[in-house]
């Protein structure tokens, strides 16, 4: 099993450009999450999904959109990138057997720089 994979690993964007980050998991997990990690801020939840076709806002959703068209994929979009979105982005997924909260499995991250 590959676990949680993220594409791309690195990206540099100019202000105003758009891009999509792809997260894929092969563990048949129901729940998926997008976080951003910034120095001194820890991990902050951007959006999450509790199943195919459903998404919800997290702590810092502004400037981002997400889609979960297939159970194994969770896409994070930036329509008009801003320098404040320079960060490391992590995707995570979790199973839903038993009672929450559930252990989250993380991808290796995408380092995004917006100039």
Using the rule CB under 8 A, is 109 a contact of other proteins?
yes
- Contact flag: residue 102 with other proteins (CB under 8 A): yes
Q: Interface with other proteins includes 33 (CB under 8 A)? A: yes
Region 75-94 residues binding other proteins, contact defined as CB under 8 A: 90, 92, 94
DSSP assignment letter at 82: -
Q: In this structure, how many other beta carbons lie within 10 angstroms of the beta carbon of residue 105?
A: 16
C-alpha span between 83 and 79 (Å, rounded): 13
C-alpha angle with apex 37: 32 to 43, nearest 5 degrees? 60
- Interface with other proteins includes 31 (CB under 8 A)? yes
Quick one: which segment of 18-26, 63-71, 75-83, 105-113 binds other proteins (CB under 8 A)? Answer: 105-113
Question: In terms of Cα–Cα distance, which of 81, 64, 67 is closest to 18?
Answer: 81
Let me know the angle formed at the C-alpha of 54 by 30 and 80, rounded to the nearest 5 degrees: 115
| Nearest residue (CB) to other proteins, 85 versus 93 | 93
Does position 34 bind other proteins by CB under 8 A? no
User: How are beta strands 42-51 and 31-38 bridged, if at all?
Assistant: antiparallel
Looking at the Cβ atoms of 18 and 41, the one nearer to other proteins is 41
Under the rule (CB under 8 A), what is the footprint of other proteins? 4, 31, 33, 40-43, 45, 48, 50, 58, 90, 92, 94, 96, 99-109
């Amino acid at each position: 099993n590959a676990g949680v994979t993220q594409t791309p690993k690195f990206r540099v964007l100019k202000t105003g450009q758009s891009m999509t980050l792809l997260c894929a998991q092969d563990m048949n997990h129901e729940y998926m999450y997008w976080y951003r990690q910034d120095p001194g801020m820890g991990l902050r939840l951007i959006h999450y999904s509790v199943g195919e076709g459903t998404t919800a806002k997290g702590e810092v959703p502004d400037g981002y959109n997400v889609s979960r068209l297939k159970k194994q994929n969770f896409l994070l979009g930036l329509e008009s990138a801003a320098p404040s979105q320079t960060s490391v982005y992590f995707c995570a997924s979790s199973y839903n057997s038993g009672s929450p909260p559930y252990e989250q499995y993380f991808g290796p991250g995408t380092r995004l720089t917006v100039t």
